[in-house]
């Protein structure tokens, strides 16, 4: 199994990449970021896509359309999916090796390209959020398909693209299957083939991949050194801007922001934080870049920080050793 795609267990989505495949991604990322010509082509294509998304996609689907034709769905779904082709290279398993090589060699090409990649990730993340937030492009499209063909407004959220397209061919939806996927679903890529799993298989995979050993001390990757103590404010995976507002009401100057990951929308929270801790990310993640700009301690990649700690916990962040502990 090369990748276990998001599972809806416990209302969250999780993605897993096999270790040897992550190493392959790191090597390919190093090749890309070490070459001025290849990186220039990549960033130009990505920024053109971002411009097109802002002009032609996001405004069109700011609200659920009254209807959507089969031809339109055939066009828009691959267009939305293309974001992952570009955005994927901004993820840590593509750039962390290149970042380490930059520190070791002070290579000017890597310095220039990775500095731009940090900004490009911010630009791409803004598009990603507008695509997948609960009031974003993809949910609005799926709500329309649900209203056209299905019983409940979110039923289409639990169908894969081929199943969505089949609705237009008068193929009846399998509501038993939808109900199962609302409990838990899993899919993956194995030997270049997309595979889906039954509910019992998905539940078993969930137990294997997401079994959490609760701890009072976690380790991660230091992206900005230093130490801090403070009250934890937990920010799970964001699904809408209302979440950001509710967390902002909790956040006080000197708190420790413990996030699944940070995005441009939460910069005001980062500016209040004494330190940032994230479940995911690498040396060029949003949290890493922002923490270095703000000169506050940051540890990324703890994997389960948002699940082990809770609001109000007193935390010590040792961003020298890469340790976060409850005190």
Q: Which fold has domain 217-326?
A: Glucose Oxidase; domain 1 (3.50.30)
Please give the pLDDT value at position 57.
97
Please give the pLDDT value at position 11.
62
Please give the pLDDT value at position 1.
36
- The CATH 3.50.30.10 domain(s) of the chain lie at 217-326
> For residues 145 and 167, is the Cβ–Cβ distance under 8 A?
yes
Question: Residue 262 to residues 144, 155, 234: CA-CA distances in angstroms?
Answer: 30, 29, 11
**pLDDT tens, position by position, for the chain (327 residues)?**
344 444 444 467 788 888 888 999 999 999 999 999 999 999 999 999 999 999 999 999 999 999 999 999 999 999 999 999 999 999 999 999 999 999 999 999 999 999 999 999 999 999 999 999 999 999 999 999 999 999 999 999 999 999 999 999 999 999 999 999 999 999 998 888 899 999 999 999 988 887 777 789 999 999 999 999 999 999 988 878 888 899 999 999 999 999 999 988 899 999 999 999 999 999 999 999 999 999 999 999 998 999 999 999 999 999 999 999 999
Distance CA 285, CA 114 (A): 11
Distance CA 41, CA 44 (A): 5
Give me the sign of the Cα torsion angle 210, 215, 221, 222. positive
Please give the pLDDT value at position 192.
83
């Amino acid at each position: 199994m090369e990748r276990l795609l998001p599972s809806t267990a416990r209302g969250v989505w999780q993605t897993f990449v096999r270790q040897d495949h992550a190493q392959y991604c790191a090597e390919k990322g190093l090749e890309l970021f070490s070459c001025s010509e290849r990186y220039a082509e990549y960033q130009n294509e990505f920024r053109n896509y971002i411009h097109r998304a802002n002009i032609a996609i996001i405004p069109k689907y700011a609200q659920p359309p009254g209807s959507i034709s089969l031809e339109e769905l055939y066009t828009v779904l691959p267009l939305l999916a293309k974001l992952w082709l570009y955005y994927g290279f901004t993820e840590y398993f593509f750039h962390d090796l290149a970042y380490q090589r930059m520190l070791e060699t002070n290579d000017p090409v890597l310095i220039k390209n990775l500095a731009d990649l940090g900004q490009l990730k911010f630009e791409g993340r803004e598009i990603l959020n507008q695509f997948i937030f609960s009031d974003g492009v993809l949910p609005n499209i799926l709500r329309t398909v649900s209203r056209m063909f299905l019983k409940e407004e979110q039923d289409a959220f639990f169908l894969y693209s081929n199943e969505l397209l089949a609705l237009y061919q008068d193929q009846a939806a399998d509501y038993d299957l939808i109900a199962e996927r609302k409990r838990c679903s899993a899919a993956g890529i194995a030997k270049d083939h997309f595979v889906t799993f039954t509910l019992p298989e998905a539940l078993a995979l969930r137990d294997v991949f997401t079994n959490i050993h609760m701890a009072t001390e976690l380790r991660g990757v230091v992206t900005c050194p230093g130490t801090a103590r403070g009250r934890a404010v937990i920010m799970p995976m964001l699904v809408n801007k209302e979440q950001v507002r509710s967390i902002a009401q909790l956040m006080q100057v000197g708190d420790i922001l413990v996030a699944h990951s940070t995005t441009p929308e939460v910069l005001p929270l980062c500016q209040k934080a004494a330190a940032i801790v994230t479940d995911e990310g690498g040396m060029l993640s949003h949290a890493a870049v922002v923490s270095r700009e703000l000169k506050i301690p940051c540890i990324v990649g703890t994997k389960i920080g948002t699940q082990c700690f809770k609001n109000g916990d007193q935390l010590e962040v040792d961003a020298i050793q890469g340790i976060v502990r409850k005190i």
